[in-house]
Structure 1
Amino acid sequence: MSARRRPSLYSDSDWKREVGEVGSSDPWRLPVGRDYGRIIHSASFRRLQGKTQVFPGHESDFFRNRLTHSLEVAQIASGIAERLNHVVPYFGDFPLDLRLCEAAALLHDIGHPPFGHNGERALDDLMRGAGGFEGNAQTLRIISRLEKKVRRRTAKGDDRAGLNLTYRLMAAVLKYDRIIPARRTKAIKLVKGYYESEADVVRNVKLHTAGRIGRRKFKTIECWIMDLADDIAYSTYDLEDSMKAGFLSPASILASKDDLLSKVADKTSEEIGRAIAPDDVLDIFSDIFAAINADGSENSLLAFVETFRASQALSESGYFRTKLSSQLVHEAINSVEVKLDPQYPMLSEAYLNDKARLKVEVLKQYTFESMIYSSRVKLPEFRGYEVVKSIFEALASKRGYLMMPDDVRENHASASSRPEQLRIICDFVAGMTDRYATEFYDRLHSNAGHSMFKPV
C-alpha cells in the first residue's frame, strides 16, 4: 500500500473543541498552539510549582516539584516523538505533532492533589461513596470543566467548559478508558479512569478523534508517548534527587539488604509480567554504576576505599549526576519502539523494548521502595494525609461550605445531590498547593499568626 493511500494520523475533526473557537484567531496560529498557550497560562499548571514530587518544596529550592517534573516530561516526550518521526517510516510520511506530545506531557500531572500520592489516597478514601478520586480523572475534569477559561451555552446545568482544548489533546491525556465506580467498598483499591461526570466529554473525544471503534482499546499514540516520558523522567530524576539529598548513593544501592531487593524484584516482576530475581536488580545497578568501579587494586581494603570515594563523588558531584541522568534518558528514548495500527494509526502503541523497560522499572521500584517507605519521608507524608483529610471533613460538615471561596460556595449551593456537593469540595481541596493546604489546616486548628483579613 502506498504512503498516500494509508490512513492519515490527524484529521480536521481532531482539532475541534467542545465550544468551538472562542474569539478571533490569527490565521498563522495552529489549534494545538492555542492549546499550549492555555495550559502554560492556566492557574492549575502554575500551582504545580507548589506540589511535591518526592521532597517537599519547603525543604529546598533545588529539588524537583510537579512543575519542573512536567517540563522535563514534556522535553522527553518531544524527544521520543522526534526520534520516531525519523526512524519509523509511517511517521516519516505522517509526522507526530511534537507540540501535541509536549502539551499532553505538561498536563499529565495537573490533576494531582497536594502531598502527592498521599493526598490522592486521602481524597479517594473520603470519596469512596461519591465516585472516588484519581489524579488522571481529575486532570480530565480540570481541563474540561474546572479551569476558568470558557463557558458553554446551556439553558441549565453546569456551563463550565474548562480550557476548551482540542479533542485530540484531551484524547492524549486519557490514559485509562473506564469509568470509576460511583461507590466502592474499602476492599477495592484506587481505580484509575475517569469520573461519571465526564463520561459525555470522553464520548465526544472518541467520536471526534477515532470515530466509532467498538470495543477496541482507546489510547492514542501521543498518550503512550506521554506515559513513557513520565516513566523515564520519574525513574531517572527521582534517583538523581535522592542522591543529591544524600538518601541514596551507588555504594548504598549496591549494598542493599535482601528484603529491599526482594521487594523491588517482586514489584518489577508484577509490572513487566515475568519473573525477576533480586540478583537481577543488583546486576542492573552494577551496569549503571560500572563507570565508578574500583581500579582493579588487589588490596581489598584499598579497593573498598576507592569504590566508596567514587560512590561519594557520583552522589556529590553535579557533573556526575547530570551525566548519569542524561545517559539513562538518552538510552530510554532510543529504546522506544512502535506497534503500528494500520487501521487506526492514532491508536498505535509506543513501548520500551524489554531491556530498557526492565531498567526503567527497576529504577522506579527501587527509588519508590527505598525512599517512600523510609521513616524520614513517611513522617511528612503521614502529616499530608491528615492535613487533606482534616480539611475535607471540615468543609463537608454541616456549615463547612461557608469556609470556601464565594464561587465555590455558589457551585456547592447549586449542586443537586450530596455526591455532587462532595465532588465540589473535593475539587477545591485537590486544587490546593502543599503550602496552601498546610496554611488552611493551621487556620482551622490554631489562631496563632493568622488574620481573618487574609482571604481564603
Structure 2
Amino acid sequence: MMYSAGDYERPVPTSDTENTEWRPPFTRDYGRIIHSASFRRQQGKTQVFPGHESDFFRNRLTHSLEVAQIAEGIADRLNVVYKDVLERNPIDGRLCAAAGLVHDIGHPPFGHNGERALDTKMKKYGGFEGNAQTLRILSRLDKKALYKEEVGGDKRAGMNLCYRTLAAILKYDNAIPLERDEGSKLTKGYYLSEKSIVDRIKGKVLRGKSGPPEGEFKTIECAIMDIADDIAYSVYDLEDSLKAGFLTPATILATDDKRLDDVAADVTKQMKRPVDRGEVMSVFVDLFKGMIPEISEDHATAVVNFAKAVQGSHELSANGYTRTKLSSQLVHEFINGVEFKFDPNRPALSKVWLKPETKLKVEVLKQYTYKSIIYSPRVKLGEFRGTQLVKEIFEALEGEKGELLMPDDVRERFLVSEDEGHRARTICDFVAGMTDRYAMEFWARLKSDGAESMFKDI
C-alpha cells in the first residue's frame, strides 16, 4: 500500500468535514500552496536571467510550474508502465506536483549567491540553505495555521500540510550543524530548529518501521520531484539561453576543450563513472545532427553545407517553433527514461532513477548550460551585486537600532526574544523572503542618493 492514514495527518489536526471525496488531502495541500504568499513571491525571483530583461525568460515561479507538470507526468507514466505493482495503489501525481510547486520556495533573492551571502551571516546560528528554508516556510513561516501550544518554542505551523507532503520536499536527510567554521562550505539539509518536525514526518511516513541509515530518507514523491527538477533545468535553461542568444548550436559545437573538460568533470561526479570531453560533445552532435550536413571533400559542397549549418544554428536560436519542438521532444524522452522499483517493506521509499543513457544526456545539458551561462561575466556581474545587496541589508538589520528598519510583524518577533540566534534567524527569514526587486528597493532606501518616499511600505 503506497499511502496510509499517517500520511494524511497534519501537524495541527483539522476537521473531518474539510476532507471530502472530491477534494482529498493532497489536493487540498496543492490548493494551499497555490494560494500562499510564499508561492506567489517566486515570480519575483530569478531563475537564470533577471525577469526585467524579458517577459520570455523563466523565473522561479514558472520554473516551479514546469517542474510540477513534469513530476505529475512522471507519476502518470509510472502508474501505467508499472501497473502490475501500482494499479491498486498508484503514485499520487497531484502530490508529486505539489512537491514541484514548492521545491524552490526557500530560495532567497538572487538565487545561490543570495543563499551563500545569508549562510555566511548565519554560520554561528544554524546556517542558511534553500532546501532547509523550504521546510521552514512550509512548517513554520507561512501564515496559515498556529499550534494551540508551542512546539519547539514556536506556535507557528506554516501551511499545515500533510506529513507525506512535507516529506516530499526533504531532499537532504541531515541536520545542518548549529555552528560551522567561517571557511566551511554551504551545508545542505534541514535546520536543527525543525528537527522535531522532521522526526515526526519520518515516524508518520514510515508507519512505525525503522528508517534507513542517516542521510538516506527520501520518499518516492521527493525522488520524482528531484528528477523533474533536473529535467526542467537541463531543457528549459538551455531554451532560455538559446532565446537570449547566449548560446547557439554553432557556438556549442565549437566549444573549447577546457570548457568541455570542466563539464565532463562535473558530469563524472553525477554519473559516478569517468566521462570525457568526447562523450560530452557526442550528446550535442546527436542533439543538433539535423543541422550538421555531411562533411564533403568537394569545396563547393563544403561551402554550401557550411552555409546550411550556419542557417540551421540561427534557426534554433531565432525560431520559437523550432525551440519549442526541441524542448518538447527532450522532455518526452527524459520522462520515458525514468525507471522504478517498488519497496514492499517501506513503500514510501520506493526508488526511481533515470536510465544511464538518459541521465548522461540530462547531466550534460544541465552542466554545460550552468558552466556557460551562470558563470558568464554578463550574468555574474548582476549576481555579484545581488550578493552584496543581501549582505548589506542583513548587516543593516542586525546593527544598532536595526529593528527600526523592519516591518511591524518582523520587529515584534525580533524584540520578544533576547536570544542572539533567534534574532539572527528572524532577520534571515525576513531577508530570505524578499524578491529580487524588493531587495533592490530596500537596499536603495538604505544606501542610494535618490530620494525615496516615506509613504511606500517596507
Q: TM-score range by the shorter chain?
A: over 0.9
Aligned to 1:3: none
1:163 paired residue among 142, 159, 166: 159
Aligned to 1:5: none
- Three-state SS of the structure 2 residue aligned to 1:201 is helix
Aligned to 1:11: 4
1:260-310 per-residue CA deviation (whole Å, 9 max, x = no partner) reads 001000111011111111111110100011122226664322221210110
User: Amino acid of the residue matched to residue 227 of structure 1?
Assistant: D
| 413-422 or 328-337: bigger deviation | 413-422
User: Amino acid of the residue matched to residue 157 of structure 2?
Assistant: A
Change (3 A) 1:26 1:338: closer
| 443-452 or 312-321: bigger deviation | 443-452
- Three-state SS of the structure 2 residue aligned to 1:130 is coil
Change (3 A) 1:155 1:325: closer
Aligned to 2:187: 191
Aligned to 2:277: 278
What is the deviation of 1:446? 2.1
Question: Between Structure 1 and Structure 2, how many residues are aligned?
Answer: 449
What is the deviation of 1:257? 0.8
Aligned to 1:384: 386
**Distance of 1:215 and 1:291 partners within structure 2:** 47
Change (3 A) 1:181 1:26: closer
- Three-state SS of the structure 2 residue aligned to 1:338 is strand
**Distance of 1:416 and 1:196 partners within structure 2:** 19
Gaps in structure 1 of 5+ consecutive residues: 1-7
**Distance of 1:121 and 1:200 partners within structure 2:** 26
Aligned to 2:76: 82
Are the aligned partners of 1:136 and 1:175 in contact in 2 as well (CA < 8 Å)?
yes
Are the aligned partners of 2:211 and 2:217 in contact in 1 as well (CA < 8 Å)?
no
Are the aligned partners of 1:167 and 1:208 in contact in 2 as well (CA < 8 Å)?
yes
1:63 paired residue among 57, 69, 86: 57
Q: Superposition pairs for residues 206-217 of structure 1, below 5 Å?
A: 206-210=202-206, 211-216=208-213, 217=216
What is the deviation of 1:23? 8.7
1:333-382 per-residue CA deviation (whole Å, 9 max, x = no partner) reads 00001132221111011110100001000111100000111111110010
Matched, 1:176 2:169: no
Aligned to 1:441: 443
Change (3 A) 1:230 1:393: same
Are the aligned partners of 2:96 and 2:225 in contact in 1 as well (CA < 8 Å)?
yes
Are the aligned partners of 1:136 and 1:192 in contact in 2 as well (CA < 8 Å)?
yes
**Distance of 2:320 and 2:294 partners within structure 1:** 22
**Distance of 1:23 and 1:209 partners within structure 2:** 20
Aligned to 1:102: 97
Q: State the 4+ residue runs in structure 1 displaced beyond 3 angstroms.
A: 295-298
**Distance of 1:212 and 1:129 partners within structure 2:** 35
Q: Superposition pairs for residues 413-424 of structure 1, below 5 Å?
A: 413-424=415-426
Aligned to 1:248: 247
Q: Superposition pairs for residues 44-443 of structure 1, below 5 Å?
A: 44-88=38-82, 89-154=84-149, 157-210=153-206, 211-216=208-213, 217-294=216-293, 298=298, 299-443=301-445
Change (3 A) 1:60 1:213: same
Identity score, percent = 58
Are the aligned partners of 1:295 and 1:306 in contact in 2 as well (CA < 8 Å)?
no
User: Amino acid of the residue matched to residue 269 of structure 2?
Assistant: E
What is the deviation of 1:61? 1.0
User: Amino acid of the residue matched to residue 71 of structure 2?
Assistant: A
1:21 paired residue among 14, 18, 21: 14
- Three-state SS of the structure 2 residue aligned to 1:128 is coil
| 94-103 or 339-348: bigger deviation | 339-348
TM-score (norm 2): 0.96
1:169-191 per-residue CA deviation (whole Å, 9 max, x = no partner) reads 00000011100011111332111
- Three-state SS of the structure 2 residue aligned to 1:110 is coil
Over aligned residue pairs, what C-alpha RMSD do you find?
Answer: 1.4
**Distance of 2:19 and 2:422 partners within structure 1:** 39
**Distance of 2:120 and 2:223 partners within structure 1:** 29
User: Amino acid of the residue matched to residue 131 of structure 2?
Assistant: N
TM-score (norm 1): 0.96
- Three-state SS of the structure 2 residue aligned to 1:159 is coil
Change (3 A) 1:15 1:407: same
Are the aligned partners of 2:291 and 2:308 in contact in 1 as well (CA < 8 Å)?
no
